[in-house]
Amino acid sequence: MERDIYDDDHEAFRDVVIEFIKRYGTNEKREKWDADGEIDRATMLAAGEAGILGLSVPEEFGGAGMLQDYRFRAVVNEETIKAGLGSLAGALGIQDDLAVPYLAHFGTQEQKEKWLPGMATGEVIGALAMTEPGAGSDLRGVKTTAKKVDGGWVVNGAKTFISSGKTADLVVTFVKTGEGNRPDAFSLLLIENGMDGFEHGKKLNKIGFHGHDTAELSFSDVFVPDENLIGGEPGHGFVQLMRNLPLERLSIGVAAAAASEAGLRWTLDYTASREAFGQPVIDFQNTRFTLADIATTVDVLWAYVDRAITLYGQKKLTPEEAAKVKFWSTEREWEILDKCLQLHGGYGYIMEYPIARAFADARVHRIYGGSNEIMREIVARQVTGRR
């Protein structure tokens, strides 16, 4: 089904992204990212140069100022995923959908001036650190504390599963600045690479997204100056997170729809070229019906995700709607990629094939950005009116 959310500017921008992918997203590059477990800085800088990184950085700070028109970011997300470059999509997405918005939306003028220009070029890579070894879904259970001292905060604790955690220069870190677990007990601090006591721990060995680093972080008496408190006042961290999480969830929804569409395309190509019992696999009725089901679901997925992109652009996407999009689209993605993999037979299990990598990458879509159980909780609270 034809999609109609993009205009000529977005399509022209899509050409830029496709050109970038042709040049920097070669198989050789992807294999190197997978082997190294991270996207190299030169590629991130090239993305900045090409104008496909830092889309959410306002123009006055050197970015494209596209935070208000998420469709440009959706184009980057779609095209990198459709090219089988999930890890690159992840690295660009963490910068633009998870790290930059906290500065662009809530940062002080000084914080924006100091950090956003570098985030637009790729000289500063950002990450968002909420999850801890003992607290993921239940963010109010975090134990990383920031104690007030003269001129700043002293941070102690640990974070885990942090995307871009190894390569990040600047980590937007969710810390406890108050007593108890009321929302106003939490703040977001900008913790810089090189601060005494801040260690990037080991890169975690994941099922998928092999080319994008995910790491543990530890903080031991890290002094963070007052000017690194996002927004300049303590106690707003929880609300700031809640305001940006719908964007993160929308971004995962776009990734899920793009991966589903890509899975369909790879499977059409593969089954047309593979023969069994003297005929192409695509001609078995089971294959044809499965592909028909998938193609229909992909249409519905895009219709739903596109509507969410439009609502986000109109500042009308509610947290509950973002939660619905996130869990529903990632579950359809999972079913679709599983069916696509099955139609590849044994080759579907081999990492050389894009369907195998997409399948492995997709698994975490149901876990991160708020697990799908937590998404259902958010929706259920609204639907039932009960907590």
Q: In the complex, what is the shortest distance from the CB of residue 109 to ligand FAD, in angstroms, rounded to a whole number? A: 26
CB 141 within 8 A of CB 181: yes
Helices (H), 69-198: 71-82, 86-93, 100-106, 109-121
Q: Tell me the closest approach of the beta carbon of residue 94 to ligand FAD, in angstroms.
A: 6
**CA distances for 83 relative to 57, 120, 336, 344, angstroms:** 25, 23, 17, 18
The answer to whether residue 141 forms part of the interface with ligand FAD (CB under 6 A) is no
Task: Using the minimum distance from each CB to ligand FAD, give the nearer residue, 315 or 387.
Answer: 387
Residue nearer to ligand FAD on the CB measure, 120 or 188:
188
Q: Does 230 bind ligand FAD (CB under 6 A)?
A: no
Per DSSP bridges, beta strands 170-176 and 126-129 are parallel
Quick one: which segment of 30-38, 280-288, 353-361, 373-381 binds ligand FAD (CB under 6 A)? 373-381
* Cβ proximity of 94 and 32 under 8 Å: no
Query: Per CB under 6 A, does 206 bind ligand FAD?
Result: yes
> Of the listed 38, 132, 248, 321, which one is catalytic?
248
Residue 175 or residue 291: which is nearer to ligand FAD going by CB?
Answer: 175
Residue 129 or 191: the one with the smaller Cβ distance to ligand FAD is: 129
- Which residue minimizes CB distance to ligand FAD? 136
Residue located via tokens 């193609």: 295
Which of 145, 367, 380, 382 binds ligand FAD (CB under 6 A)? It is: 367
DSSP SS3 for 205? coil
Q: Which residues pair with 156 in a beta bridge?
A: 145
Q: Is 162 a binder of ligand FAD (CB under 6 A)? A: yes
Determine which residue in the list 136, 237, 253, 263 makes contact with ligand FAD, applying CB under 6 A: 136
From 69, 368, 380, 382, residue interacting with ligand FAD (rule: CB under 6 A): 368
Q: In angstroms, rounded to a whole number, what is the distance separating the alpha carbons of residues 81 and 90?
A: 9
CA 29 to chain centre: 20
Question: How buried is residue 176: exposed, middle or buried, by Cβ count under 10 Å (0-12/13-18/19+)?
Answer: buried
Q: Which stretch binds ligand FAD (CB under 6 A): 61-69, 126-134, 315-323, 340-348?
A: 126-134
Helix and strand numbers (H, E) in the chain are 12, 9
Q: Which of residues 163-182 bind ligand FAD (CB under 6 A)?
A: 163
Q: Is 248 a catalytic residue?
A: yes
Question: Which residues make beta-bridge pairs with 175?
Answer: 187
Residue 161 in the binding site for ligand FAD (CB under 6 A): yes
According to DSSP, the β-strands at 214-225 and 198-203 are antiparallel
Q: Is the CB of 92 or the CB of 294 nearer to ligand FAD?
A: 92
Residue 368: how many other CB atoms lie within 10 Å: 17
Closest approach of ligand FAD to the CB of residue 3, in Å = 28
Amino acid at 166: K
| Number of shown-chain residues binding ligand FAD (CB under 6 A) | 19
For residue 66, give the amino acid letter: M
* CB 162 within 8 Å of CB 99: no
Whose Cβ is closer to ligand FAD: residue 80's or residue 297's? 80
Which residues are identified as catalytic?
248
**List of residues contacting ligand FAD (CB under 6 A):** 128-131, 136-137, 161-163, 206, 214, 364, 367-368, 370-371, 373-374, 377
